[in-house]
C-alpha cells in the first residue's frame, strides 16, 4: 500500500481490525444458519473477493464455492441491465445458496442477480453483503440477510472497493476524496 493511495482517502470508515471483527460476527451468524446445509457460497467478482476470502476462512461448516462476474455498471454509471460475463460453474437447483457481495448501492445489480438465480430453483437464496449504502429508499427492493456495515452515500474505496480498478488493495474502507472523481 502506498502513502499516495491513502492520501486519496477523505476519511477512513473502518480500519482492518474493525473489518475483521465484523466479518467474524457475520461468520458466526452464517455458521449457526448453515452448519448442516452444505451451501454454495457465490462470490460476486471482482469487488467481493477480499471479503469472500476472509469470510470463508472463518466459516465452520462444509460448503462449496463458486464465482460469478456480473454488473449493471459501465464505469461509474448504471446501464440498467445485468451483464453476466462469467456464470456459475455449479448447478444450484435444490441447493442452498449464499450470494457474497461487496456493496449494494441502488440495488439494481443484486435485484437482477437474485431474479436470475431464483429462476434456477435453489432450495434457498440469501444475500451476504459487506456494505449496504445508505441512500434512503432504494430504487430496487433487495433483501439483505447478512450485512457487515451500513455506509454513507459517498464513493467508497479500499478492501475490494475500487475507483477505475484502483484502491482495491487498501486494507481499510474509506471515502474517496471528491476531487478525485469529479
Which runs of E-coded beta strand occur in the chain?
9-14, 40-45, 64-74, 77-86, 96-104, 124-134, 146-152, 156-157, 173-176
Considering 8, 54, 102, 105, which one is annotated as catalytic? 105
CA–CA gap between residue 156 and residue 84 (Å, rounded): 23
141 labelled catalytic: no
CA–CA gap between residue 113 and residue 102 (Å, rounded): 14
CA–CA gap between residue 95 and residue 82 (Å, rounded): 23
Q: Which residues contact 136 (CB under 8 A, 6 or more apart)?
A: none
182 DSSP 8-state letter: -
Q: Which residues are catalytic?
A: 105
Amino acid at each position: 500500500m502506498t502513502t499516495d493511495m491513502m492520501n486519496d482517502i477523505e476519511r477512513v470508515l473502518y480500519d482492518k481490525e474493525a473489518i475483521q471483527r465484523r466479518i467474524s460476527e457475520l461468520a458466526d451468524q452464517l455458521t449457526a444458519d448453515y452448519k448442516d446445509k452444505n451451501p454454495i457460497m457465490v462470490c460476486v467478482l471482482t469487488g467481493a473477493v477480499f471479503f469472500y476470502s476472509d469470510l470463508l476462512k472463518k466459516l465452520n461448516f462444509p460448503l462449496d464455492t463458486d464465482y460469478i462476474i456480473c454488473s449493471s455498471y459501465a464505469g461509474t454509471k448504471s446501464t440498467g441491465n445485468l451483464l453476466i460475463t462469467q456464470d456459475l460453474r455449479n448447478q444450484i437447483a435444490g441447493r442452498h445458496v449464499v450470494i457474497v457481495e461487496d456493496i449494494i448501492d441502488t440495488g439494481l445489480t443484486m435485484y437482477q442477480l437474485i431474479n436470475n438465480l431464483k429462476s434456477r430453483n435453489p432450495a434457498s437464496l440469501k444475500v451476504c453483503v459487506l456494505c449496504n449504502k445508505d441512500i434512503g429508499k432504494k430504487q430496487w427492493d433487495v433483501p439483505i440477510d447478512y450485512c457487515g456495515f451500513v455506509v454513507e452515500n459517498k464513493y467508497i474505496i479500499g478492501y475490494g472497493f475500487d475507483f477505475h480498478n484502483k484502491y482495491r488493495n487498501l486494507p481499510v474502507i474509506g471515502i474517496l476524496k471528491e476531487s478525485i472523481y469529479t
